[in-house]
Amino acid sequence: MAGRVALLLWAQTLGLAGAQTTQLLVEPPWTPPALWDQVTLTCQGSGSASATAWYKDRKYLWQKMWQKSQETFTVTERGTYMCYRPGSGRSPPVTVSDDDLVLQVPVRVLLEGDTVTLRCRGWRDSKVTSVSFYREGTELMGLPDGTELSLSLSPLQLSHSGNYSCEGRMEYWPSKLWQSTPVTVTVHGVPPSGVSLSAQPSRAQVALGDSLVLSCTVAMGTGPLSFSWHREGSGAPLGTGPRLELGYVGDNDSGQYRCRVSDGDSVAESDTMNVTVLVPVANATITPGPLAHQVHTGDNVTLRCSVQVGSAPVTFTWLHNGQEVAQGPLLEFGDIVVGHSGTYQCVATNQLGQDGHRVFWALSPELALEVTTWGHKDTAVAAGVGSSLLALVLLGAAIVGWQRCHRRAPRTPQDRTPVVPLEGEEVLYSHVVPTARAAGSPGATPEEPQVTYAELRAPRLHPGDSGDYENVL
């Protein structure tokens, strides 16, 4: 079971499983497999397992139809084997060896930095002496001559890749020097993993026009590695290499950034990083309007400050008659009083750039708030109406008093002031008729006559009209 897992891991790392190709799992997990190890092959792929077909030396195995399991095959003869699955096609070939001398390599992915052991085996585990190991036909020096049946490579490096073989004498035929068939060792770089992003400035918040640098790091992975940068919504990669530098950030550079790392066989991606381009605040306004606002005492009043343009973090400061009274986008009066009357303004501020070295602010227009008491207008109207009525009453009383005064005042010719009319004026003549009260009537005396006025209107006077005039009864 461990061998199957190891071979499957090897296939996935090389991208074979991702390509949906049919694979052959070998048990025990050595390559080339030795016939005397009772090798079992398992075919893995898509499609129905009952439709699995087996081939030996590129010939269809008819006898496979009589076996219990279609996807598992027990090898009884040396040769090259393949299997077929309807959904994923044919598998790569696996050669089962029955040679007198076999050099075997573990069936797993050989990664840079790992340790691997190659073993040289005689036919049916016959004893082997005078063992030597070769790489690309050149003997590997510095090894104990003829005493070790295995070759350990640690730590693995990319340069260890190549064709290896072993040479030795068999116990049953010591006079002959036997040599194994070369086996290929491929050392892969560690697949990239643990890809992470960092930014300068650290929070990836940058002011419009400033610079931004994104860095991509890999926790695990050995070369050669390739990098590519992507932003959600953009097509082609933004750049290659472990760093992405934006020298002059524009407002369209905001978005989700991601780094991809590949070693040619596999790809790893970082989590996204949100890049925010901060824009200076502008056009602060207060709502509700209009700029002159009248409310009554006890009302609940809320003023809201906002900006049409500007990026977070934006701070808001409220001014009442030029003095700072509150912070935040809302100014709330739960029970407003007359003392809250006055002018209000809002100041919006943000600090942009690295370490907030650029400060921008916007001042809203003034809002005039007038707080009046309940019934103030009705009282004023009533007071005005009352004043008008009082004036009319007083005027009427004055007229009546004047009339009574003129009725009771004694009028004699001596009391009258002579009038000298001017030329061309009209003259109004008054005739006073004293009327005695009846004798015995209350308050009747000769000194208190009733006076009756008769008025005659004369034509316009001329210089010859001067003279004395008498009353005509």
Digit-by-digit pLDDT tens for the chain (473 residues) are: 333 333 333 343 344 334 468 999 999 999 999 999 999 999 999 888 888 899 999 999 875 455 556 789 899 999 999 999 988 999 999 999 999 999 999 999 898 899 999 999 999 999 999 999 999 999 998 776 666 789 999 899 999 999 999 999 998 888 899 999 999 999 988 889 999 999 988 878 888 888 899 999 999 888 788 999 999 988 889 999 999 999 889 888 999 999 999 988 889 999 999 998 888 888 888 888 666 778 889 888 999 999 988 877 899 999 999 999 999 999 999 889 999 999 999 999 988 766 667 788 899 999 999 999 876 444 433 344 445 556 565 666 667 665 665 555 444 444 444 444 444 444 443 333 343 333 343 343 333 333 333 333 344 444 444 454 444 33
The confidence score (pLDDT) of residue 401 equals 66
| 101-188 CATH, one of 2.60.40.10, 2.102.10.10, 3.20.20.70, 3.40.47.10 | 2.60.40.10
Identify the DSSP state of 368.
E
Q: In what order do the strands lie in the sheet with 23-27?
A: 23-27, 40-44, 72-74
Whole-number Å distance between alpha carbons of 419 and 89: 143
Which helix (H) or strand (E) segment holds residue 386: the answer is helix 376-408
Helix (H, G, I), strand (E, B) or coil at 464: helix
Class assignment of domain 193-278? mainly beta
| 282-372 CATH, one of 1.10.3720.10, 2.60.220.10, 3.30.56.10, 2.60.40.10 | 2.60.40.10
Q: How far is CA 300 from CA 23, 205, 296, in A?
A: 76, 38, 9
How many residues comprise the chain?
473
412 contact partners, CB below 8 Å, separation of at least 6: 432
Identify the DSSP state of 50.
G
The C-alpha angle with vertex 244 and arms to 241 and 247, in degrees rounded to 5, equals 140
β strands within 136-192, DSSP E = 138-139, 150-153, 162-170, 173-179, 183-185, 187-188
Whole-number Å distance between alpha carbons of 87 and 69: 18
CATH 2.60.40.10 is right for the domain spanning 2-96: yes
